[in-house]
Amino acid sequence: MWTVKVVGLGLVALSLSLEVLVWVVRRRRPKNILNEVLFFPSEITCTEAIFTPSLHSCLCTLPHGVETSFSRLLCHILSTSSSLDLCVFAFSNMDLCRAVLALHNRGVVVRILTDKDYAAITGSQIGVLRKAGICVRCGVKTVYMHHKFVVIDGRLLINGSLNWTVTAVQSNMENVLITEVPKLVQPFIKEFHRLWEQSDPSAYLRSGDQNPAQNRNDVALFS
Amino acid sequence: MWTVKVVGLGLVALSLSLEVLVWVVRRRRPKNILNEVLFFPSEITCTEAIFTPSLHSCLCTLPHGVETSFSRLLCHILSTSSSLDLCVFAFSNMDLCRAVLALHNRGVVVRILTDKDYAAITGSQIGVLRKAGICVRCGVKTVYMHHKFVVIDGRLLINGSLNWTVTAVQSNMENVLITEVPKLVQPFIKEFHRLWEQSDPSAYLRSGDQNPAQNRNDVALFS
**Can you give the pLDDT at residue B219?**
32
Residue B122 Cα, gap to closest chain A Cα (Å)? 20
Distance from CA of B63 to the nearest CA of A (A): 14
Name which of A140, A166, A177 to mutate to probe chain B: the one with the most chain B Cβ atoms within 10 A of its Cβ: A177
Per the model's pLDDT, the better-predicted residue between A210 and B140 turns out to be B140
B24 and A20 within 8 Å at the Cβ level: the answer is: no
pLDDT for B37 equals 98
Q: What is the pLDDT of residues B49-72, one digit of tens each?
A: 999 988 878 889 999 989 999 999
**Number of other CB atoms surrounding residue B146 within 10 Å:** 25
Indicate yes or no: pTM above 0.90: no
Q: Provide, as residue numbers in chain A, all residues whose Cβ is less than 8 Å from the Cβ of B188.
A: 37, 175
Chain A residue numbers touching B149 (CB-CB < 8 A): 161, 175
Chain A's closest residue to B6, CA to CA, is A6
What pLDDT was estimated at residue A69? 98
Give the pLDDT of residue A217. 34
Which ipTM did the prediction report? 0.83
pLDDT band at B216 (very low <50, low <70, confident <90, very high): very low
Residues in CB range of A12: below 8 A, 6 or more apart: B10
SS3 B223: coil
Mean pLDDT, chain B, rounded, equals 88
Q: What residues of A are in contact with residue B220 (Cβ under 8 Å)?
A: 43
Q: Which residues of chain A have pLDDT under 70?
A: 28-30, 140-141, 204-223
pLDDT of residue A145: 93
Question: Is B193 annotated as catalytic?
Answer: no
CA distance A114 to A119: 7
The predicted structure's pLDDT at residue B208: 55
Interface probe for B, chosen from A114, A165, A172, A189 (most Cβ of B below 10 Å), is A172
Q: Name the pLDDT band for B78 (thresholds 50, 70, 90).
A: very high
Identify whether B146 is a catalytic site residue: yes
The pLDDT of residue B56: 78
The residue-averaged pLDDT of B155-173 equals 97
Q: What are the contacts of A104-107 at 24+ separation with CB within 8 A?
A: A104/A129, A104/A132, A104/A133, A104/A134, A105/A132
- Res B10: pLDDT: 75
Concerning whether B153 is annotated as a catalytic residue, the answer is: yes
* B32 or A128, higher pLDDT: A128
Mean pLDDT, residues B138-161: 92
Q: For residue B217, what pLDDT is reported? A: 34
Predicted local distance difference test score (pLDDT) of residue B155: 97
Written as one letter, the residue type at B164 is: W
B29 has a pLDDT exceeding 70: no
In this prediction, residue B2 carries a pLDDT of 73
More confident residue, B95 or A218: B95
Gap from B79 CA to chain A (nearest CA, Å): 21
Cα–Cα distance for residue pair B96/B199, rounded to 1 Å: 23
B29 → chain A, closest CA residue:
A28
Burial class (CB within 10 angstroms; exposed 0-12, middle 13-18, buried 19+) of A105: exposed
pLDDT of residue B141: 61
